[in-house]
Amino acid sequence: MDIHDFPIAFTAILPTGPECLESTDLPSNTPGDEKICFIPHHEIWDIGLIVASPDKLEVMDSFSAAIKIDRPEIVHDLMTQTRGPFDTDKLNSQAEHPVNALNNYFSRVKRDYVFSAFRVELELQFLQIYSEVYGIRPLWWPHKIDVYSYALGTFDILGRKLPSPDIFRIATSLKILVPSAPYRAINHACLTYEIFKKLRSMKLKSPI
């Protein structure tokens, strides 16, 4: 199986707490589960997906879902600035139950797709934990692309310095328009897709 022969599922998740976003960049002396133990304390608030073809990276499918939250009392102020004000009535009437949202998501991301995200282990761990909590048993993907790592490698090949591990600063350095807050997970997935597409284009044009 060649990883370049299958569609790429660019996935983004917005949680209810900022620790989830920050801890992927924190140093850890011990590998394994201790690095991800923060995740169960927060929930998936929003999920976005862009599926792109492997050759021309054309968009094949997209999916966006606001997800009902069991513990609104722990939603952090920073995440309401990112995702938008927390409106309990609106969320209860318009958001999907996690089982429905996840089943819809997994029906779109096939077994032979390449799973990708800006920080791939964060999104993957959220999906795995939520699946276990709600008794969903999807087939997981054998291939993954971490777009931040892909950016590091590409900038190194081109002799450029990566500005920071922040997705918005990387996008700005690549002259990609970034969404203004508040934004949805689908906006984050689109940005991840655009960064990967631009990086691959730069890599293909490189004489190295």
Q: What is the pLDDT of residue 60?
A: 97
Spatial strand order in the sheet of 44-52: 59-66, 44-52, 8-15, 114-117, 144-146
- In the prediction, which pLDDT does 6 show? 92
DSSP codes, 95-129: SBPHHHHHHHHHHHS-TTSEEEETTHHHHHHHHHH
Q: Supply the pLDDT for residue 99.
A: 94
pLDDT given at position 21 = 59
Q: Please give the pLDDT value at position 39.
A: 53
Per the structure, the count of domains in the chain is 1
Residues 6, 54 contacting (CB under 8 angstroms): yes
d(CA 136, CA 101): 11
Q: State the Rg of the chain over Cα.
A: 17
Model pTM?
Answer: 0.86
What's residue 114's pLDDT? 96
Per-block average pLDDT, block size 10, for the chain (208 residues)?
82 84 44 43 91 94 93 84 79 84 95 94 89 90 93 89 86 92 93 95 70
Residues 6+ apart with CB under 8 A from 136: 99, 102, 103, 106, 130
Q: Which domain holds residue 96?
A: 3-205
CATH number of domain containing 140:
3.30.420.10
β-partners of residue 9 are 51, 115
What is the C-alpha separation between 18 and 23, in angstroms, rounded? 9
Would you state the pLDDT for residue 104?
96
3-class DSSP state of 15? strand
Can you tell me the distance from the alpha carbon of 200 to that of 94, in angstroms, rounded to the nearest whole number?
37
